[in-house]
Structure 1
Amino acid sequence: MSGLRHQDKVALITAATDGIGYAIAERLGKEGAKVVISSRKQKNVDAAVNNLRQQGIEVMGLVCHVGKKEHREALIQETVAKYGGIDILVSNAAVNPVYGPMLKVTTEEAWDKIFDINVKASFFLVKSAMPYMKNRKGASVILVSSIGGFTPDKSLGAYSTSKTAMFGLVKNLAVECAEFGVRVNGLAPGLIKTRFSKQLWDGRESEAVGFSIPLGRIGLPEDCGAVVSFLASDDAAFVVGENIVAAGGQLSRL
């Protein structure tokens, strides 16, 4: 950890009450950022805020369903009202309501839900935040996707497709936002030990080889927090439009 390299920055992270999002908020907060976390349930927000404050992190928590325009707008406006602007935006929310062969299990309703949350909400969150990020020194956006966007799992077809779309969203936003001095990059985690991915790893924690992870272990949320901290820092000042894979060596290419 490189000290307080995010001192006095304002970091907004969606879906940040557990798993990868929480680890990102914790890491940025420990490095000096004022963090704003959000999730759909008030009790989860309250618990995460309490845990972060016990570590000496300045944090505000808000309820936000990113699929709802009014929630996204309120999240941005309340953050700006409290802190005056946004330096780091991390879009981490994602859903996967179906599991199994894509052609067999994916309904139109499920497809719409996946793309509304995983792709559409990320774009409109960035669009709403940009007026409060542009021309702020070192401002940075990180969109969290998945290695599944590179190497699909046949049981996660629609989800994987949405994450491939996220790679393109990063590339396009990076070009436009660079004009405002805002860097946009993506994080593509591999198999990370979280509640969201529990169906994949539960009971198989020691089977990293079976998941083709050369490093020999399943990833931890903290591994993702470290990458986001780097991408949001001045150490990554010339990194723009990249989708960084954190997957312990799993193959990743389109």
Structure 2
Amino acid sequence: MNLDLKDKVVVITGPAKGMGRAVTLAFAREGAHLVLAGRDTAAIDDVAAELNAMNTEVLVVSCDITRSEQAERLAKETLARFDRIDVLVNVAGGSGPIGKTGWETTQAEFDDIVQLNMTGCFNTMRAVMPAMIERCAGKIVNVGGTFGMRGRAGRMAYSASKWGLRGITKSFALEAGSYGINVNCVAPGMVDGPRFRDKVCANMADKLGISPEEAAIRHAEDYALKRVSTDNDIANACLFLASDVARQITGVDLPVDGGWALL
């Protein structure tokens, strides 16, 4: 299937590693022009080098998405280089405290993750919207999480931030629909990688006195398909929602979780 993403201008936040890197490379393989945004541009160097080897046109922008003025500068630099913004993919985010109850979570921990996972996405969405409205076209894909659909004990702050992102996504979708702009949310479950192995599995292993590998297996058993998602699973969902194949889909949460949110 041709997703017709060649030469589209795609802004990606959090592109350096994990899901962000997979999303970045997936769009590059489709022939898109890429704008990669992150606080630490040095961390983006490796993926930028891969893109250069693929002959992908790429712009790297230093941007703290929790700062509205920096998100606005990101949009301005993109427009100065490419004259339009076709797609925004908000991957940047954090996990917040793991294994803490709501009453053990500090206000600082709660504020930090809400600021990153909610306010950060709001800032970038708000910044690119005028350019998309002017052209009456655009796709926004936010990477949320299934803990923002069902909740999760020990992950209250993260869950709250992803529930909030769903509300932002749906409201923007309703407001921007008349301008031909689609706004959707990909909701990963557990995604295999360093964060999953070193934090989530390690936390379960410590609590239950089992190995991290046994913890990973226990997580997989929670899912209908009995397997944990990969970065590429998330990337493929982002490609779909950023393409005109999904032209009639907006305001949705798309779980990519092997069947956990439905259980």
TM-score, length basis structure 1: 0.92
Give yes or no for the alignment of 1:251 onto 2:258.
Answer: no
In structure 2, distance between residues paired with 1:109 and 1:163: 17
Does the CA contact (< 8 Å) of 1:98 and 1:105 recur in 2? Answer: no
Shift of 1:210: 4.8
Does the CA contact (< 8 Å) of 1:91 and 1:142 recur in 2? Answer: yes
Give yes or no for the alignment of 1:229 onto 2:239.
Answer: yes
Does the CA contact (< 8 Å) of 2:221 and 2:227 recur in 1? Answer: no
> How many residue pairs are counted as aligned between the two chains?
252
Does the CA contact (< 8 Å) of 1:102 and 1:158 recur in 2? Answer: no
Paired AA for residue 44 in structure 2: V
In structure 2, distance between residues paired with 1:137 and 1:59: 24
In structure 2, distance between residues paired with 1:40 and 1:195: 20
Shift of 1:208: 5.7
RMSD: 2.0
Aligned residue in 2 for 1:124: 123
Distance 1:221 1:136, change over 3 A: farther
In structure 2, distance between residues paired with 1:80 and 1:140: 16
Does the CA contact (< 8 Å) of 2:3 and 2:240 recur in 1? Answer: no
Paired AA for residue 128 in structure 1: A
Q: Report the secondary structure of 1:142's partner residue.
A: strand
Distance 1:208 1:134, change over 3 A: farther
Matched-pair identity in % = 28
Aligned residue in 1 for 2:49: 50
Gaps spanning 5+ residues in structure 2: where? 203-211
Mapping 1:104-253, distance limit 5 Å: 104-136=103-135, 138-198=137-197, 199-201=199-201, 203-204=212-213, 207=217, 210-252=220-262
Shift of 1:232: 0.9
TM-score, length basis structure 2: 0.89
In structure 1, distance between residues paired with 2:222 and 2:111: 31
In structure 1, distance between residues paired with 2:96 and 2:157: 10
Q: Report the secondary structure of 1:51's partner residue.
A: helix
Greater fraction of residues in helix = 2
**Divergent runs of 4+, >6 A:** none
Does the CA contact (< 8 Å) of 2:65 and 2:123 recur in 1? Answer: no
In structure 1, distance between residues paired with 2:189 and 2:219: 14
Query: What does the per-residue CA deviation read over 1:190-222, in whole Å, with 9 as the maximum and x for residues that have no partner?
Result: 111133333124633861665412222211111
Does the CA contact (< 8 Å) of 1:137 and 1:181 recur in 2? Answer: yes
In structure 2, distance between residues paired with 1:118 and 1:10: 23
Aligned residue in 2 for 1:90: 89
Paired AA for residue 185 in structure 2: G
Distance 1:135 1:235, change over 3 A: farther
Paired AA for residue 237 in structure 1: R
Paired AA for residue 46 in structure 1: D
In structure 2, distance between residues paired with 1:204 and 1:149: 25
Q: Report the secondary structure of 2:89's partner residue.
A: strand
Shift of 1:47: 1.5
Shift of 1:137: 6.2
